[in-house]
Structure 1
Amino acid sequence: MRFPLLALLATGAAALAAPRSECLTPKVFIVSMFSPEDVWTAPLKLTHNVSLPGLSPLFPHVKCDKARDVCHVITGEGEINAAATISAVVLSDKFDLRKTYFLFAGIAGVNPHVATTGSVGLARYAVQVALAYELDARQMPSNWMTGYWIQGTKAPGTLDGANIYGTEVFELNTNLRDRVRALIPADIKLNDTAAAAAYRASYSYAPANAPPAVFYGDVATADVYFAGSLLAEAFGNITSLWTNNTGTYALSAQEDNASFEAMVRAHQAKRVDFSRVVLLRTASDFDRAPEGKNTYDEFTADQGGFDPAVQNIFVAGNYIVQGILGEWGAFKGGVKPQEGWLHDADVFHTLATKRAGLQRRGVERRRVGRGVPLVE
């Protein structure tokens, strides 16, 4: 009985030692957050299922095309689901993702001062705006404009003394963002509906009342589905704080910072390249009511933007997917990030190559003081 046992052990060891070249090596990996955003499976013929431990029980498979060039996963909604699913994907030995481009593509709320419903936004920053202290607005100091303020600080509007978790803001590769934007035709025809156009007309200013378009704008991440001009302005201010006034709050979503933290940790483990991440969000509803309208009534109203927003994920996003595939010779080696990549991905400068990150110079939860610049 010894020989068969030794043979079995040898076979198992050989399987464990199998080179990563035998793994799937997709060129593009698309990430959706919930089932309506899966506009990819049918048109791209994603018929090859890959089961992974750690995926959402609602979405237990990664789906790939016949050539295994394009794969797709649905994380499940919210930050916890996103972090768990993306961790499962990037740590799986069924994939070699070191040269894979990731397209995170979903719907979002929209700031009417930046864009309108049906529009397609490409982001530089994702900011975790609700990582803060909160007082019920009915009990906040009378001279405050919001009950949200950064943890470790004394009042809204400052980072002085802020506690750093490391997930507050992620910066993506803007050279890649510009490169994929060029893959989308300037005269692209985005889906729209009469209902969405009629609702947009209730705003007296552009771009809220204009037709949908492709634009650059940043994403505010929060599991709280917030609405109203006061909250939106407060989170817009927090976006500006964490990006040293270089970011513009345009879109609101739940999952992006959680997904990106998993990606950055996988980058450190040399399993992915975080400079190959694209964040695309389409606008499904406004984050504040038109002038003179009741916030709650407008928040619960059918604004007509959901369907075109879902459809436009594919309308714009497929140009990116097909462009990367069609120009793989140019994309294979990567797209060099912008000079002085502001955060080296995050506020810990985790991906810095020439200097130690904040987390390597001190404690994990570090306070930002006047003499400690958050960005360089």
Structure 2
Amino acid sequence: MSFLLRMAAWAGACLALTMTALPAAAETAAAPDISACEPGAPCATPLPVKVVIVSLFEIGKDEGDTAGEFQLWKARRGLTMRIPFPQSFHDLYYNPETQVLGMVTGIGTARSTAATMALGLDPRFDLSKAYWLVAGIAGIDPENASIGSVAWARYVVDGDLAHEIDPREIPADWGFGYFPRQTKGPNDMSGKPDPSGGEMFQINPSLEKWAYDLTSGIELPDSKEIAKERARFTDTPPAQEPPFVLEGEQLSAMTFWHGRLMTDWANSWVRYWTSGKGDFVTSAMEDTGVLTSLTYLDNIGRADRDRVLVMRAGSNYTMPPPGVDAATYLLRENEGYAGLNAAVENLYTVGSVVVDELLDHWDKYEDATP
């Protein structure tokens, strides 16, 4: 063998040895083993989390039956690592490769507040760089959008902290018996809103705008079922459109309210708390609870309040179509939301675009929000 051939053979053997001894640079580091760590107790090496998917409820099982808010994320995102979470409503699920964590808070602001705080204070997780995506179904104002549509919230407003007088006892010139505590009634809009009590949260404007711009062009699927329901809303053109992505405010309240008068109240309430900058679009029950906890967790460095996004998809309308009374329509919807399947599917479709962008370019978003 010539000198050059011997050198080539030697170099090849060295290269093979090197490649065998060293892991490929592209391989993902193995996730820390936290199986020995007790829930809520210190853990030597906490799990790194890039994205937290915040679902609020699931209909039945986590997989294999009618999908609520969590099922599609669990199945399609490979959230296969079950993590016991007895200090809250539902166990957690994690993907060790993508470092995406899924949670189900339970319905209502009480459970969502407790669940988010419990996760944020659990030493088993490193949430310091995590983005939080609240993704849930909602009632949707037919004056703004149709069922199946997905709305990115710029503001999240609480609908529970208030004064209330029974509508049968209110003054004749009051439209509602429910009004902000620091006002003299629903017609008093002169006072400046003070959201220090947790009545209103603004989503990081640049992050929200980035998410909306990233997804606004998505063409969402239509179906005969939701088209049939949309056609009934003859006096509100936006309600008759196929599903689309928009921006609009989220109102969180523990009461599942319904009707034209209540929708009028919701629009007035959101206008007041956002000083006219916001427009009520979706109604739900949990988001101010999530944001309350994340605000407090941010104060101690356990979460980043500027890394929170809230999107809601319309599963039902907040008021009935012409010719139907509110009670009849509400009770019929309670038997099964006309837009449930479209809403959960579109939540995943739209939310996944944002999640993929964060994960695919983590080197860009790890230390700086969009």
TM-score norm. by structure 2 comes to 0.81
Q: 1:154 to 1:185 in 2, by over 3 A?
A: closer
Look up the SS of the partner of 2:215 in the other structure. Answer: coil
Distance 1:52 1:128 in 2: 27
* Alignment partner of 1:240 out of 251, 256, 271: 271
CA deviation after TM superposition for structure 1 residue 192, in Å: 3.2
Give how far 1:301 is off. 2.8
Question: Within 1, Cα distance between the matches of 2:128 and 2:150?
Answer: 27
Q: Is 1:85 equivalent to 2:108 in the alignment? A: no
What runs of 5+ residues in structure 2 fail to find an aligned partner?
1-36, 59-67
> C-alpha displacement at 1:311, in angstroms?
1.3
Mapped partners of 2:264, 2:196: distance in 1: 23
How far apart are residue 304 of structure 1 and its match? Answer: 1.9
- Equivalent residue pairs, number: 316
| Structure with larger Rg | 2
SS class of match (2:197): coil
For residues 187 and 313 of structure 2, the distance between their equivalents in structure 1, rounded to whole angstroms, comes to: 29
* 1:41 match: 74
Which of 274, 287, 309 is the matching residue for 1:278?
309
CA gap of 1:118–1:18, structure 2 versus 1, over 3 A, is: closer
Contact 2:212 2:246 in 1 (8 A): no
Letter aligned with residue 76 of structure 2: P
CA deviation string 1:14-52 (max 9, x = no partner): xx8866xx2111111100000110121111111112223
User: How far off its partner does 1:53 sit?
Assistant: 4.2
Is residue 267 of structure 1 aligned with residue 267 of structure 2? no
Does 2:148 match 1:114?
A: no
Corresponding residue for residue 22 of structure 2: none
Q: Which blocks of at least 5 consecutive residues in structure 1 are unaligned?
A: 1-11, 337-376
Q: 1:164 to 1:326 in 2, by over 3 A?
A: closer
How far apart are 1:254 and its partner, in Å?
A: 0.2
Matched to 1:169, the amino acid is M
The one-letter code of the counterpart of 1:124 is: R
Tell whether 2:334 aligns with 1:300: no
Aligned to 2:129: 99
Of 259, 274, 289, the match for 1:258: 289
Q: Distance in 1 between matches of 2:170 and 2:51?
A: 47
CA distance 1:191–1:113, shift in 2 (3 Å):
same
Q: CA deviation at 1:185?
A: 6.5
1:218 matched to 2:249: yes
- 1:334 corresponds to: 368
Structure 1 CA distance for aligned equivalents of residues 246 and 186 of structure 2? 29
Cα deviation for residue 290 of structure 1 reads 1.8
In the alignment, the residues of structure 2 paired with residue 105 and residue 275 of structure 1 have an alpha-carbon distance, to the nearest angstrom, of 17
1:171 aligns with 2:205: no
Q: What's 2:18 paired with? A: none
Match in the other structure for 1:32: 55
**Identity among equivalent pairs (%):** 30
User: CA–CA distance in 2 between the matches of 1:198 and 1:118?
Assistant: 13
Cα RMSD for the two superposed structures = 2.0
Query: In the TM superposition, what is the alpha-carbon distance from 1:164 to its structure 2 partner?
Result: 5.8
- Are 1:312 and 2:335 matched, yes or no? no
Say yes or no: does 1:290 pair with 2:316.
no
Q: 1:184 aligns with which of 215, 230, 244?
A: 215
Q: What do residues 170-192 of structure 1 show as CA deviations (whole Å, max 9, x unaligned)?
A: 00112111222233361x23233
Structure 1 pair 163–18 and aligned structure 2 pair: CA distance change class (3 A) = closer
8 Å CA contact retained: 2:195, 2:273: no
Aligned residue type for 2:78:
K
Tell me how far apart the structure 1 counterparts of residues 135 and 150 of structure 2 sit (CA, whole Å): 10
Q: Using the TM superposition, give the Cα deviation of residue 193 of structure 1 relative to its aligned residue in structure 2, in angstroms.
A: 2.6
8 Å Cα contact 1:153/1:161 also seen in 2? no
Deviation at 1:300, TM superposition (A): 2.4
Q: Which amino acid aligns with 1:23?
A: P
Cα 1:145–1:178, aligned 2, differ >3 Å: closer, same or farther?
Answer: same
User: Structure 1 length as normaliser, TM-score?
Assistant: 0.80
| Counterpart-to-counterpart distance in 2, 1:55 and 1:202 | 41
